[in-house]
Amino acid sequence: MSLKGKVAIVTAGAMGIGRASALRLAADGADVVVMDKAESELQDTARAIEVLGRRALPITVDLLDRTATAAAFAHARAVFGPADILHNNAGQSARERMKPFWEADPEVWDFILDLNVGTAMFCSRQVVNDMRELRRGRIICTSSEAAYVGGSGATDYCTSKAGILGFVRSLAVEMAPFGVTVNAVLPGVTRTRMMDKMSKDYLAPIIQSIPMGQICEPEDVAHVVSFYASEGARLVTGTGLLVNGGRVMA
């Protein structure tokens, strides 16, 4: 799945799934722009990309700042040229602010919806005109198995991840005549820094709920991103692939 000569942009690329995706795309031959707020981790990811022999461009940016985001994409284009691949990976749950819907703070759900869906839409807007003109491109969005199941205290998160699927399908239809594909990857429970803080007693029932008995690693998701980015997936568009060991099936 060679991506030699391609330019990839990964948002929220400093850690976790974003970092794994950036490194996998680089290993496959792409030069990678990584965007994130976490400057120290971002620089570390950029150095790891360069160790793989590819060019890296780390850009520290708050993706909720539309003006700064537009400037970041313009800078990436000026340095590396038009993007061939965009992985929209920014997102999170409400975390410690999770509440039942009847108690949820509208400001919190506005934040979650904007971060999880709004940034994917806005970042995609920054690359679609070049992709249309060049008649090539890959847009990949991180959704979640939560798009298919409800979660107590996570109405905003589940709604946002389902919204990603609607966005992917609609944009896939619009971009198909230009040879551009748009797809989603839907991770299940994934090993991240947050998970490292969880006790074995807390994790045990979660692992038991996974038919394959294994928690998803960021690299498992990155493999799917790499496939979607490849020429082998040229006719795969508007889809969402679950990576969760069978915990949720759709």
The catalytic residue among 148, 157, 202, 228 is 157
Dihedral sign (CA 202, 165, 76, 181): positive
Structure tokens at 73: 């994409």
Tell me the C-alpha distance between 72 and 93, whole Å.
25
Contact 170, 164 (CB under 8 A): no
Contact 133, 77 (CB under 8 A): no
AA letter at 23 = L
Return the beta strands (E) in the chain as ranges.
7-11, 31-36, 56-60, 85-88, 137-142, 180-187, 240-243
The answer to whether 208 and 149 are in contact (CB under 8 A) is no
Residues in CB range of 149: below 8 A, 6 or more apart: 158, 248
Starting at the earlier edge strand, list the strands of the sheet with 180-187: 56-60, 31-36, 7-11, 85-88, 137-142, 180-187, 240-243
The residue behind tokens 């869906």 is 117
Whether 157 is catalytic is yes
What is the set of active-site residues? 157
